[in-house]
Amino acid sequence: MSSQPAYVQKLASIPKETFLFGSSPIQLLPRLSEKLSPDGKVKIYAKREDCNSGLAYGGNKVRKLEYLVADAKAQGCDTLVSVGGVQSNHTRAVTAVATASGMQAVTIQEKWVPIDPPLYDKTGNILLSRIMGGDVRLNQEGFDIGHKEATNKAFEDVKARGGKPYYIPAGASDHPLGGLGFTNVVLEIAEQEKTLGVFFDTLVVCSVTGSSHAGLIVGAVAEGRGRKVIGIDASGKPEAAKAQVARIARSTATLLDPSLEIPDDAVVLDERFHEGIYGIPGPSTMAAIALAAQTDAMITDPVYEGKSMAGLIKLVEEGSIKAGSNVLYVHLGGQPALNAYSSYF
């Protein structure tokens, strides 16, 4: 009889592909820690999901897609269909895992960000998808974390030409398996803590479509060690985002252990740093990108990680993260989009 908790056994039993190098590294950020906490009472580390895979620069979506691609293969599908903005990290990752699996990818790239800087639709993530042979389709629909009509049309197009499509929602999030990847991250962190000799009492993570945030919540609640997960909203629609995080967390918990309950106070979403709109960096985002880059040479992006880094900085400076804390900043990736935002720098 296994001594592992029921949720760990269940998680291990769900089929997944192997797209990662292994556990993504945890890195101490000594100069950022010193800058934000000169007395040394708060130590800041990063969980480098941006370095997690050899597939087209990796990132958090690749970890989620391990489960979804296994499901797609089990159903005999040959084409992954998904949606994101023009500079979507997610659609780049969908194209990457499809290519690496001998499948096709059709991605709808919508106008989620109301800007048109030079080469915005020709460089960065969308360029990588094109290089990998993805069927990239631009349209003018705006940002929304929900399911999109244009994806339905692409799905039907694949069927009409004799293919078997598999639908992946934005961010690989609002899907029955969407929260599993980052529930697994907490198990991974717990193993790394044994080697490092540290306990990360606070995890800080960007939150938009919600499943990275939700998975971390499930993992933290399930392990029962009092680890706090703080989501930093970058959607600009925090009410909808928080509701989706809670729903994904609870459905993931139920899948893994029907007795596992996610309390309301476990779903924390700080909405002070989205700067009003998805995908456009404001002053706090730009300052955060500069600080992370000019202390520990850690590069963050203007859409996601720059905003969550702004949140981390403020939480430490204002004392919301207490003295004695070991903070783990969960770096979700996204740097390829920087090329499309060069005019901001």
Catalytic positions, please? 88
Any idea what the Cα angle at residue 59 is, between residues 74 and 225, rounded to 5°?
90
Residue 132: C-alpha distances to residues 57, 77, 268 (Å): 12, 19, 37
Q: Is 95 exposed, middle or buried (0-12, 13-18, 19+ CB in 10 A)?
A: buried
Please name the residue ranges forming H helices in 101-232: 124-131, 149-160, 180-196, 211-223
Residue 70: C-alpha distances to residues 28, 67, 74, 79, 215 (Å): 33, 5, 6, 13, 18
User: Which tokens belong to 7?
Assistant: 């949720």
CA 260 to chain centroid, in Å, comes to 23
Contacts of 29 (CB under 8 A, 6+ apart): 44, 45, 46, 292, 295, 296, 298, 329
